[in-house]
A and B are shown apart, each in its own frame.
Chain A
Amino acid sequence: MNVRTKHIPQHMLYVNGVTVSFDGFKALNNLSFVVAPGELRAIIGPNGAGKTTMMDVITGKVKPNQGDVFFRDTIDLTQHDEADIANLGIGRKFQKPTVIESLSIFENLELALVGNRGVFKSLFHTLSATQLARINEIIALVGLSERRNELAGALSHGQKQWLEIGMLLIQDPDLLLVDEPAAGMTDHETAMTAKLLREIAGERSVVVVEHDMEFIKALDCPVTVLHEGRVLAEGTLDQVQNNEQVIEVYLGR
C-alpha cells in the first residue's frame, strides 16, 4: 500500500515479566510474550485473565508495577502516554465499538488519518488530494462507500466495528490491538472480519483478543492462552484446545 522506509525490527512487541496489581489483586502476573513483525496473533482466556489489562499496558493507559514493554525493539512503552503511543504506531480497537457518533463516517476517518495532531495545525487544516484518496480507499475497504456522509451513530453494531477498524488502519500503525472484533456480528460479518484481519497482517502485526472459537479458527493463526495474568499455553488452535491445563481452566474445576 505505502512504502515503508523504517527498518524491520526483530520484535514488533516485546513484553517481559509484566506485573500489574490493583489493590493487591494481580491483574497481570509476570506476563511475557513477543509478537513478530507482520504476525497475526490471537489471545484467548477466560474472564478476568488479564486480556484488557494487557492492552491497557501496551497502549499506556495503565503503567505496570514491574516488567518491560518494548515496541520495535527500542521504544520503551512504559515511558509514554496514550497519545504518544498512538502516534508511535500502535492502534487499538475497543471491546465496545467506539466511533464518534455525531460525526459522519468520512469525518471519523479524517480525524483518524495519520498526520499532525497539533491544536493549531488542526485549526487551519485542509485535506490534500492524496489524503482524500486515502480516506476513500479505506471507506471502500471497510465497505461503507455508500454511507460515507451519514452519521456514524446511524450504523449497525457490526458496521461500527468495521468503521473502527478503518479508523485504526488509516492511522497507519505497525501494530494493531483488536479487542473482540466479532462481538455482536452476524456469521457473515464475522467471516468477513477474519478475512480482513488476515489481509491486514503481514504488512502490520495484529493482536486479536477474542472469545469466539469459530472466529479464531477462521483467523488460522498462533494462539496464546492467558490465565490469571500470565501465559498458560501457546501454539496452534488445535494444540491449545487439546492442552490439559487449558481444558481444565475453560471447563472449570
Chain B
Amino acid sequence: MPANSRLAWLLNDVAGKRLLAVVLAITVLVPILNLAVPADSFFHVPTYWVSLLGKYLCFALLALAVDLIWGYCGILSLGHGAFFALGGYAMGMYLMRQIGDRGVYGNPLLPDFMVFLNWQELPWYWYGFDNFAFAMLMVLLVPGILAFVFGWLTFRSRVTGVYLSIITQAMTYALMLAFFQNDMGFGGNNGLTDFKDILGFNLHADNTKVALYVLSGVALMIGYLLCRFVVSSKLGRVLVSIRDAESRTRFVGYRVEHYKLFVFVLSAMLAGVAGALYVPQVGIINPGEFSPINSIEIIIWVAVGGRGLLYGAVIGAILVNYGKTYFTGAFPEVWLFMLGGLFVVSTLFLPQGVVGVVQQWKQKRAERKAFKQVTPSASPQAKPDSSTAAVETAS
C-alpha cells in the first residue's frame, strides 16, 4: 500500500488515465499511419494532417497551462497568449540562426530582415540563440521571468479578479505593439519565418514533421502529469482554497502571493513550451500571436471543455480548434460569430463544459438504472404517477 499511496495522485485520476491513453494512442498511431501506410491506402494520414494535429496538441498544452491557474487558483489570465508567443519567438530565433547563409541575402550572421534594415551587427539579445540548448533554456526562462516579474508586482499588491484580467490583457497588447516595431529586432510585423532546419533536420521533410508531432504528444502527456501532480498535492488544495476564499487562506497562515506566483510561473513556462513546439510546425511566428483575441480564445477552449479538471481543457482545446479548422474552411465568415456564441452558451448553459454535460448524463443514466433495479416489475417507461393515472382511467 505505501508504494501505491505515493502514486495515488495518478491512480485515482480515472478520466486522466483514459485521456493519457488516447493521447498516447494517437501519438503512436498517427506517425505509423503516415509513414508506414502507403499514400494511396484508405488508412494513410497525410502529412498535412500530422502537422495540424501537432498544432492541436500544442494548443491543448496551452489550455492545460491556463486551466492550472484559472480552474484551480481562480487567476483569469487574458494574456496567456503572450507566454506562448514568447516561447515561440525563442524557438524562432534559434531557427533563424540555423538558416545561416542560406537566406535571400546570404549573410552568414544576420537574418534576412536585419540585412534588409541595413543593420551591421547582430543585436546582443540574439547572441547564444545559435545554440539549441541555450534557446530551449530561453523557451522556459523568458516566459518564466516575465511571469515572475508581472506576478510579483500584481499579486503582492493584491490585484485580483477582473482587474488582474484587464492588466494581463494590457500586457499582451503592449507586447504585440512592441513586437510590431522593426526596431525591436524581431522582424516587425512579418515576424520570423522561412525556417530551413532544426538540429540539422530539414523542417519540410515528413520525418521531421512527424518527429515534432510526436514531441508535441509527449510534451502534452508530461505537462498533464505535471499539472495533475501539482493539483493533487497539498499545494493544489491550497490553490483551491485561494480560489474559493482568499482571505481565509491568508488568515490560516498561507502566503497567498507566493502560491499564486509559483503556479503562474509554472503555467507561463508550460505555455512557452507549447509555443516553442508550435512554431516549427507552422513555420512562422509573428506579433499576431500576441493579439488579445488569441488569449481570449484560450479561455474559450477551457470553458467549453470544462475548467478545473485538466482533461476538460485538453478536450476543449482540441474540439474548438477542430471546429475552427472545419468552419473557417466551410463557412469562413461565420466562425467569429460561432466562437462568440460558443462562449455565451458555455457560460450560460454549460458551467462545467462539455465534460460536465457528459458527467451529468452518466449520473442520470446510473440513477435510472438504480431505479430500475429497485423496482424490477415496473415497466421501464411508466413513471409511478402515470401508472396510477392509468389504473384510475381503467377503473
Q: A residues engaging B (CB < 8 A)?
A: 59, 61, 82-83, 86-87, 91-92, 94, 98-103, 107, 110-112, 117-119, 122-125, 167, 171
Q: In the complex, which residues 230-258 of chain B have their Cβ closer than 8 Å to any Cβ of chain A?
A: 230, 233-235, 237-238, 240-241, 244-245, 247-256, 258
Q: Which of B230, B238, B256, B262 contacts A111 (CB 8 A)?
A: B238
B28 to chain A, nearest CB (A): 31
- Interface range on chain B (Cβ under 8 Å from partner): 20 to 34
- State A119–B237 Cα separation when bound (angstroms): 12
Contacts of B230 in A (CB 8 A): 123
- State A185–B245 Cα separation when bound (angstroms): 22
Q: Given A103-B240, A110-B237, A119-B259, A82–B251 Cβ distance below 8 Å?
A: yes
Residues B252 and A112 in contact, CB atoms below 8 Å apart: yes
Q: B residues engaging A (CB < 8 A)?
A: 230, 233-235, 237-238, 240-241, 244-245, 247-256, 258-259, 262
Q: Given A86-B253, A87-B253, A98-B248, A103–B237 Cβ distance below 8 Å?
A: yes
Q: Given A98-B248, A103-B240, A122–B253 Cβ distance below 8 Å?
A: no
CB pairs A–B below 8 angstroms (21 shown) = A61-B247, A82-B247, A83-B250, A92-B251, A94-B247, A94-B251, A100-B240, A102-B240, A103-B237, A110-B234, A111-B238, A111-B241, A111-B249, A111-B252, A118-B258, A119-B235, A122-B233, A122-B234, A123-B234, A125-B235, A171-B253
Residues A100 and B233 in contact, CB atoms below 8 Å apart: no
Contacts of B256 in A (CB 8 A): 83
Taking A94-B251, A123-B233, A167-B252 as known contacts, 7 extra A-B pairs with beta carbons closer than 8 A to each other, sorted by chain A number, are A61-B247, A86-B250, A86-B252, A86-B253, A87-B253, A122-B233, A123-B235
Contacts of B252 in A (CB 8 A): 86, 111-112, 167, 171
Contacts of A82 in B (CB 8 A): 247, 250-251
- State A103–B252 Cα separation when bound (angstroms): 15
Residues A124 and B233 in contact, CB atoms below 8 Å apart: yes
Residues A83 and B237 in contact, CB atoms below 8 Å apart: no
- State A100–B248 Cα separation when bound (angstroms): 8
Residues A117 and B255 in contact, CB atoms below 8 Å apart: yes
Contacts of A61 in B (CB 8 A): 247
Residues A119 and B241 in contact, CB atoms below 8 Å apart: no
- State A117–B262 Cα separation when bound (angstroms): 14
Contacts of B251 in A (CB 8 A): 59, 82, 86, 91-92, 94
Contacts of A112 in B (CB 8 A): 252
Closest to B6 in A: A126
Contacts of B258 in A (CB 8 A): 118-119
Residues A100 and B245 in contact, CB atoms below 8 Å apart: yes
- State A59–B250 Cα separation when bound (angstroms): 10
**B244, B248, B249, B250, most chain A CB atoms within 10 A:** B248
Q: Which of B245, B248, B253, B262 contacts A119 (CB 8 A)?
A: B262
Residues A100 and B241 in contact, CB atoms below 8 Å apart: yes
- State A117–B237 Cα separation when bound (angstroms): 12
The 6 A-B pairs of least Cβ separation, nearest first, read: A86-B253, A122-B235, A125-B234, A98-B248, A82-B250, A87-B253
Contacts of A91 in B (CB 8 A): 251
Closest to B229 in A: A123
Residues B241 and A117 in contact, CB atoms below 8 Å apart: no
Contacts of B233 in A (CB 8 A): 122-125
